[in-house]
Amino acid sequence: MRLNPVRMACLPVRFVAIVVVCGVTGLWPANASGMAFWSAVSPGGYTDLVGSPTDRGCWGKTTIAYRFAPSFLAAFPNPGLRDQIRLAFEEWDTASATPPGSQYAYKHAGYKKYVDLRTVAVHEIGHILGLAHPEEAHGSGRNFAPTVAGSCSPVAAAAPPGDEVMQHTISAGNTNHVLSHDELNAYCSSYGTVDLDFVETGSILSTDILIRAADLFAPNTWAVAHPFTTLPGTAACDKTIFFGLITFNTNTAPDRKIGRMSKGINWDYHNLSGQPIRSMTVKTNTTNNPVPLAHYDNPGSHPFTLFTTSPSADPDHKEDLLHAWQTPPRGEVPVNAVAHIGLELDVWHWAALEPKAIAPGGTATAIALVTASSWYHTVVTGSPFASAPTRDGAWADRLPLGLTSGPPETVLASGFVLSVPESLPGDARLSDLAVAAVPDDDLTLADLNRATLQALAAEQRVRSVAGFGTRTLAPGRDFYVVMRGTAGDVPPDARAEDRFVLAPELADIADAPLFVYVASDTAVPVGQVGTFALINTAPLAGRAVREIALPYVEKPAP
């Protein structure tokens, strides 16, 4: 390929995943196995990490400032959405010190009617650091993996195992917040042990990465990234990246709005353990955000006055969080009293693990907190969307590095899943399942309690599930409440063990935000639990902004 650095910079994309980036010098993006880099060489624009390892761009400075453009603030006005972008930068900020651990990737599947903003942001920042799409690069034989365990070099061409953050598609409802081994290897390859620090700025002059929003005129493209390079480069890279532009699409489909989908659950624990409670702890999975969106601390006569969330120190479970509620000395929750705790986290699929009530002497009692999560059974009915060129006012002549939708899916069944912790000493008994459709934004975490259940019941809005009755679940098992669908939609293991109920009487509220209540206890009578969950809520999302952002005047090369 010949590139004309003066005029053109970008050649048409011929098939799906070839991505082209145009900087002032007209470079091609490239990818490496697990490592995606960009370069000016053909074929396909992916760096040959074996033959020409320095043929790529990387940042030459270690403190990189990002700024939210007015277009982003207009399209994504909720401050909680900016927090999701900040978490995405934090993921890369800590890459140099992140051990790989035993788990290759942290992608979570599961259909929901939104696109996860943090997932998109982690991906696009990867492009701004010089990475491309591993599965696309592999199509050109230019995806690479280390040949020596524990090191990012030397490398050899290899197929990416899958689920990498830098894969070119992500489906609605899926999340992928944690760098896989592939991205960690790519970071190591370009930056070694250098610790890049990402800081937020309000200054136009100091902006290195601009976060903006625009109608990309491609409803299945979630965002695009443009890294800009100049000469000379650094020791590891022939070119220096000096500016990055990330553009989120404001005009995706109504059920593909880019945002955040949280879930809140409160629990009532009736303490029959025979000892007072000094503290309670709950581990959660599937989000590493160390700041819960909300927590409920047993307000009333025996409040937990100290709440803490600790990130996992376990490199094999990077998303686990440990939440702890503590009473002051001599403020313990008495025997026979009820303790109320709860959490709202920034993903829809988190679950409570290893919940415990801890007595003043340190004796821990496992308690049967239930997790409810909405559930869809979908079937793929098409091919993944190509990273199609987008028309965007500022970049009409350029082709992006983007992130596009996974293949179209058709919903076959929907409902919710109840799960019990694996840490329980014996089976849990679940009963009194009740469900109510509630308006969006009507309830906060503090409202998820028995009073709300009773108020909803008084208004005759609570629906029981006729076929549920009392169910016994072994530790760690899931139970499916199928509101729309058939037994054939239930996963085979749950079907074989009769861990499902068909509830066609709830079909009319299957798509509504749902208040779910279930009672639970364990065979050893150490406590009874009421679980109050709010699931299926609408995402906190951006709003459709049809205007095209004003063309951005690119920062001159230093």
The residues that touch Zn ion, with contacts defined as CB under 5 A, are: 401, 403
d(CA 511, CA 507): 8
Q: How far is the CB of 302 from Zn ion (least distance, A)?
A: 51
Q: Toward Zn ion, which CB reaches closer, 180 or 273?
A: 180
Q: How far is the CB of 223 from Zn ion (least distance, A)?
A: 8
Q: How far is the CB of 120 from Zn ion (least distance, A)?
A: 9
For 538, other C-beta atoms within 10 Å of its C-beta total 15
Q: How far is the CB of 245 from Zn ion (least distance, A)?
A: 13
β-strand 500-502 against 428-437: which pairing, if any? unpaired
d(CA 283, CA 304): 17
Q: Toward Zn ion, which CB reaches closer, 128 or 417?
A: 128
Q: Toward Zn ion, which CB reaches closer, 183 or 320?
A: 183
Phi-psi region of 64 (alpha: psi -120 to 50; beta: other; left: phi over 0): beta
d(CA 172, CA 408): 9
Q: What angle is formed at CA 195 by the lines to CA 205 and CA 105, rounded to 5 degrees?
A: 110
Q: How far is the CB of 384 from Zn ion (least distance, A)?
A: 12
Tell me how far CA of residue 272 lies from CA of 334, 450, 544, in angstroms: 10, 19, 51
Within 8 A by CB and 6+ apart from 379, the residues are 409, 410, 412
Q: Toward Zn ion, which CB reaches closer, 165 or 237?
A: 165
Q: Are 205 and 33 in contact (CB under 8 A)?
A: no
Q: Toward Zn ion, which CB reaches closer, 221 or 234?
A: 221
Q: Toward Zn ion, which CB reaches closer, 401 or 481?
A: 401
Q: Are 27 and 229 in contact (CB under 8 A)?
A: yes
Q: How far is the CB of 111 from Zn ion (least distance, A)?
A: 21
Q: Which one-letter DSSP state was computed for residue 445?
A: G
Q: Which one-letter DSSP state was computed for residue 399?
A: -
Q: Are 196 and 226 in contact (CB under 8 A)?
A: no
For CA atoms 196, 202, 207, 208, give the dihedral sign: positive
Q: How far is the CB of 169 from Zn ion (least distance, A)?
A: 9
Largest Cα span, the chain: 79
Q: How far is the CB of 385 from Zn ion (least distance, A)?
A: 12
Q: Toward Zn ion, which CB reaches closer, 122 or 401?
A: 401
Closest residue to bound Zn ion by CB: 403
d(CA 153, CA 188): 9
Q: Are 221 and 402 in contact (CB under 8 A)?
A: yes
Q: How far is the CB of 244 from Zn ion (least distance, A)?
A: 13
For 359, other C-beta atoms within 10 Å of its C-beta total 18
Q: Toward Zn ion, which CB reaches closer, 38 or 480?
A: 38
Q: Toward Zn ion, which CB reaches closer, 403 or 435?
A: 403
Q: Are 355 and 282 in contact (CB under 8 A)?
A: yes
